[in-house]
Amino acid sequence: MPDEIPDIVVGRLPVYLRALMRMAQESREITSSHELGQRLGISSAQIRKDLSHFGEFGKQGTGYQVKFLVEQLRRILKVDAEWGVALVGAGDLGRALAHYGGFANRGFRIVAVFDNDPAKIGMKLTGGLAVQDSSRLSDAIRQSGWKVAMVAVPADQAQAVADKLVEAGVQAILNYAPITLVVADGIRVQYIDPVVHLQRMTFYL
Amino acid sequence: MPDEIPDIVVGRLPVYLRALMRMAQESREITSSHELGQRLGISSAQIRKDLSHFGEFGKQGTGYQVKFLVEQLRRILKVDAEWGVALVGAGDLGRALAHYGGFANRGFRIVAVFDNDPAKIGMKLTGGLAVQDSSRLSDAIRQSGWKVAMVAVPADQAQAVADKLVEAGVQAILNYAPITLVVADGIRVQYIDPVVHLQRMTFYL
C-alpha cells in the first residue's frame, strides 16, 4: 500500500499526529477533521482525504476518537515502537539535539553520538551519553542495527559521513549539514537547513 | 510576478542557490542544469523549467555562469542584502542557532536574542549578543523594524510569542517549536521539527 500513497500525504501525517498528541495531552477525547483543520490551517476535506488512504478512522457526524487516531497514526508511521538514532556531530547543534526533549514519546531516541574531534570525544552529554570516536561509527551501527541517523557535521564532511552510514546499514538520514547528499536509491534523506526555510519566506516579503 | 510562481518552485530556489554557492566556493565558473541536477537529485528539465519562471539565465549549450546565477537567485530570494533576525528562546537550541555560522553570507544575521527566563537574561552569547528580556520583544521589533524572526521556545509558549511578533511587525517566522501556529493571512511561517522529518522517513522503512 505505501507505494500508492503520495509522498506529500505522508509528509502531512506527522503534523496530524503531532496535533492529535497535543489534543490528547489536553485530555480531549473526540475531535473532527474540521477542528483539526483549523488548528493546522488545512482544509477538513484534505484531512479526510489524506486519512482515507489508510482506512476508516471516524464516523460521519461523530468525529475521531483522539486516542485511537493517535494509535493508528503511530502504527502507520511506524513510531509505535522506538527507533534508536545515531547522531553524528557533537558541535553546538549536535549537543542541542542530544539534549532535546522532543524526541521522547514520538518514536525516537538518540542512542549514540559520534564526533571526530578529540576535544569532544569522551564528553558526557545530558542523559548519560558520551561522545564516541567517529572511527567507531561503522562498527557500532553494524552491531546495533540502527536504521536511522542524524548528521550534524560541517558541510564538507557530510557526504563522507552519509556514505559511511549507508554502507553500515542506515536507511534514513536527517541531514542538518547545508548540502544535498547523494545516496543510493531506497535510502531516505530529509534536510533541515534554517536558511533554506528563511529564504523561502523572504522571497515573498 | 511572484504570485504566479508555484510555492514548490520557490521552495527549490534556496537549494539551487546553496549548491551554486558551493560551486562558487570551489571556484567553478560554469555549470549546467545537468550537473546541478546530478548534485541535487533533480532532473535538469525541472531545473530549467523552475529557472525559466524568472528569466533567461543561461545559453543553450554553454550552461550557466555560476557567479551570475548566484547573484540572480540572491536577488530573486531577496537575500542580496542581509535581514536582521530576532531570535526568541535561548535554550540549547536557541543558543546553538545564535552560534551557528551558516547564516553569514546567506542573507541573515541574528541581531537580537530574547528569553523570559531570568537565569538566561543577560547571558553573553558567542558573537557578542546578550540575551534580552522577552518583555522588551515588542518594543525592540517595532523600533528596529525587523521582519524576520525565529522561535525556539517550548510548544506551549510558541503561539503567544508568535502573536507578539506579528503584532510588532514580523512577517516571516521560522518556528522550531513542535506546534502549528495560527497566524493572519499574509504572514509566512516555516517549520522545523526533526521528529516530523524522521517520521516522514520511518513510514517507508
Asked if B158 and B193 touch (Cβ cutoff 8 Å), the reply is: no
pLDDT digits (tens, 9 = 90+) for A72-127: 999 999 999 999 999 999 999 999 999 998 898 999 999 999 999 999 999 999 87
| A196 at B interface, C-beta within 8 A | yes
Task: Kindly determine whether residue A199 and residue B13, on different chains, have CB atoms separated by under 8 Å.
Answer: yes
Using a CB-CB distance cutoff of 8 angstroms, which residues of chain A are in contact with residue B22?
155, 179
Using a CB-CB distance cutoff of 8 angstroms, which residues of chain B are in contact with residue A106?
195, 199
Residue B172 has pLDDT above 70, yes or no: yes
Angle of helix B194-202 relative to helix A7-25, nearest 10 degrees, comes to 120
- In sequence order, the 6+-apart residues with CB closer than 8 A to the CB of B186 are B171
- In sequence order, the 6+-apart residues with CB closer than 8 A to the CB of A186 are A171
Which of B:72-91 have CB within 8 Å of A?
76-79, 83, 85
pLDDT digits (tens, 9 = 90+) for A166-203: 999 999 999 999 999 999 999 999 999 999 999 999 99
Distance in angstroms (rounded) separating the CA atoms of residues B73 and B14: 8
| A201 at B interface, C-beta within 8 A | yes
Residue B98 has pLDDT above 90, yes or no: yes
| pLDDT given at position B150 | 98
Task: Kindly determine whether residue B203 and residue A13, on different chains, have CB atoms separated by under 8 Å.
Answer: yes
Nearest CA in chain A to B159: A39
- SS3 call for B65: strand
Q: How confident is the model at residue B3 (pLDDT cuts 50, 70, 90)?
A: low
Domains of chain A, earliest start first: 2-76 (1.10.10.10), 83-197 (3.40.50.720)
Using a CB-CB distance cutoff of 8 angstroms, which residues of chain A are in contact with residue B201?
148, 172, 174, 188, 190
Q: Which of B125, B198, B205 to mutate to test the interface with A (most CBs of A within 10 A)?
A: B198
- In sequence order, the 6+-apart residues with CB closer than 8 A to the CB of A155 are A177, A178, A179, B22
**Could you tell me the three cell numbers for B5?**
510562481
8-state DSSP, A91? S
How much is the mean pLDDT over chain A?
A: 94
pLDDT digits (tens, 9 = 90+) for B39-93: 999 999 999 999 999 988 877 777 899 999 999 999 999 999 999 999 999 999 9
A107 vs B76, B102, B202: nearest CB: B202
Q: How confident is the model at residue B101 (pLDDT cuts 50, 70, 90)?
A: confident
